């Protein structure tokens, strides 16, 4: 525990140095200028007094602005350091697990049940490594994502249920036990990949940071004639008010990397905010009305569909079949 504490104190000292330096410079500046102003006032040098006051104001502004930029740079460096810590941890963990199981398989011949468990764990860790690498690549090409395909009309509920099913498979949860949907018949005209990344990240986070067991409510409705609103609510610890804007920035995580309890790089919400902005929408964190948890609201250009109830039921049935087939496929792979 000595290393994390020392590291934390070192970071605090790095931040306090420019603050106290700026305070000292401003104090000395004000003192010198005050003496100068008094001397000029006694000599009735009003022109020099005016110029001295302007110089004082400019110098104070310059010192304050320089201090602001210095502190912002230190905070950015700290976030980058946290990001490097996070990525290093995320890369080393699956590699260490793979090495452990491969060494075990090389040293001795396990029985069929143990060998099956080893293979499943190695496959899980490879999937985790693949997701991390893909997410890092996505951040580098956010502006170009999805431009290889043309915009299409997408039924929102189909998309949300598919993303929710992927989140459940990722975290090994039962779809019907976790998710509850209150979705009107809505459509968006957009590139599918962008929407999959937006809602995939939000729903995956909702399951990851939800309670035990996680419970997620997805509510979608129209606002006016040309806007669609999607709210994703979980039953986790929630987001502190002071962090609700910061969590959408790159390199920002809720806790220090040395003390975190959840895996991930902290890039998911940055990807969400960037892609929502590309679609001329917005994403915010709202107060939960009751029961705690987090509420993420995404507003995008869209419209409500005038679907017959029979067609709406058919759409939900088709998505349920997709969820069921994915679940059966996963269970089949486990039994083989």
Classify residue 2 by burial, with Cβ atoms within 10 Å: 0-12, 13-18, 19+.
Answer: exposed
Phi and psi angles of residue 145, each rounded to the nearest 5 degrees, phi first: -65, 135
Give the residues across from 298 on adjacent strands.
230, 283
The 3-state DSSP class for residue 181 equals: strand
Question: What is the pTM for the complete model shown?
Answer: 0.60
Is 202 in contact with 260 (CB distance < 8 Å)? no
Report the range of poorest mean pLDDT among 162-166, 220-224, 286-290. 286-290
pLDDT digits (tens, 9 = 90+) for 97-123: 788 888 888 888 888 888 888 888 888
Q: Report residue 12's pLDDT band, with 50, 70 and 90 as the boundaries.
A: very low
* Residues 129-133, mean pLDDT to the nearest whole number: 75
Structure tokens at 172: 């090994």
Strands 216-222 and 179-183: parallel
Residue 267 CA to residue 248 CA, distance in Å, equals 8
What SS3 state is found at 154? strand
Tokens 């995956």: give the residue. Answer: 204
Band of the pLDDT at 157, cuts 50, 70, 90?
Answer: very high
Q: Which of 89-93, 112-116, 139-143, 170-174 has the lowest mean pLDDT?
A: 139-143
Is residue 130 very low, low, confident or very high in pLDDT (cuts 50, 70, 90)? confident
For residue 317, the model assigns a pLDDT of: 46
> Of 198, 168, 167, 163, which Cα lies nearest the Cα of 270?
198
Q: Phi and psi dihedrals of 66, rounded to 5? A: -65, -40
* Cβ proximity of 281 and 299 under 8 Å: yes
Per-residue model confidence (pLDDT) at position 122 = 85
């Amino acid at each position: 525990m000595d290393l994390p504490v020392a590291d934390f104190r070192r970071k605090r000292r790095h931040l306090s140095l420019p603050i106290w330096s700026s305070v000292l410079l401003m104090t000395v500046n004000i003192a010198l200028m005050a003496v100068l102003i008094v001397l000029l006032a006694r000599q009735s040098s009003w022109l020099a007094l005016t110029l001295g006051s302007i110089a004082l104001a400019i110098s104070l502004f310059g010192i304050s602005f320089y201090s602001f930029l210095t502190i912002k740079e230190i905070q950015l460096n700290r976030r980058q350091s946290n990001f490097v810590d996070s990525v290093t941890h995320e890369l080393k963990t699956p590699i260490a697990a793979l090495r452990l199981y491969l060494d075990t398989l090389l040293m001795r011949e396990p029985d069929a049940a143990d060998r099956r468990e080893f293979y499943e764990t190695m496959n899980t860790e490879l999937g985790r490594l693949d997701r991390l690498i893909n997410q890092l690549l996505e951040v580098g090409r956010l502006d170009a994502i999805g431009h290889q395909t043309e915009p299409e009309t997408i039924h929102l509920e189909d998309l949300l249920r598919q993303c929710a099913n992927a989140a459940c498979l990722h975290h090994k949860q039962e779809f019907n036990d976790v998710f509850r949907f209150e979705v009107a018949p809505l459509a968006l005209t957009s590139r599918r990949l962008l929407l999959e990344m937006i809602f995939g990240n939000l729903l995956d986070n909702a399951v990851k940071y939800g309670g035990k067991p996680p419970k997620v409510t997805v509510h979608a409705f129209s606002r006016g004639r040309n806007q669609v609103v999607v709210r994703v609510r979980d039953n986790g610890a929630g987001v502190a008010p002071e962090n609700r804007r910061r969590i959408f920035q790159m390199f920002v995580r809720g806790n220090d990397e040395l003390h975190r309890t959840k895996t991930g790089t902290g890039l998911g919400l940055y990807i969400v905010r960037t892609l929502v902005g590309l679609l001329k929408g917005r994403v915010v964190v709202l107060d939960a009305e009751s029961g705690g948890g987090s509420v993420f609201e995404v507003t995008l250009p869209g419209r409500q569909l005038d679907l017959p109830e029979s067609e709406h039921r058919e759409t939900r049935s088709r998505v349920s079949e997709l969820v069921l087939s994915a679940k059966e496929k996963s269970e089949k792979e486990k039994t083989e």
